[in-house]
Amino acid sequence: MIERRKLSVALATVALATGLLTAAGPASAKPTGPARQAAAECGVRSDGKLWCGNRVGAKGYEHRSYGSAVRGPVNSSFSWFACWGPGDPHGGGNNIWYWTKLDNGQWGNVPAVDVYTSVDPAPGLRQC
């Protein structure tokens, strides 16, 4: 009977832990659907730009900091980025930010957590 109780407690603990991890999700969740396909195509092309999937609605900032002014959005799910640079840490677990022309025509810095690269900075992309 004690063994059955121990097993029940162990299973309940595993179920609770699994449920909490699933509900919370990772800080930089992997993309799904069309974004997943775009992530698979992520890389630096012959034009020297990083072409990669990104989070729709990501914000571009004046500086590499969430505390700086928002310059505009990235509304598409696949975009290009001219270069990268270090800045404030973000939810992606690093401090890499990508520089791009935003959908409103302004230039801005997008945190790497919103760009679906497999590693940051993206290999082959120049630093700026």
Q: How far apart are CA 104 and CA 10, in angstroms?
A: 53
- pLDDT at 13 (0 to 100): 45
pTM attached to this predicted model: 0.71
pLDDT at position 86 over 90: yes
Nearest-angstrom CA–CA distance, 75 and 107 = 14
Cis amide leading into 121 (omega within 30): yes
Q: How does the average pLDDT of the chain come out, rounded?
A: 81
- Residues 53-74 have pLDDT tens digits of 999 999 999 999 999 999 999 9
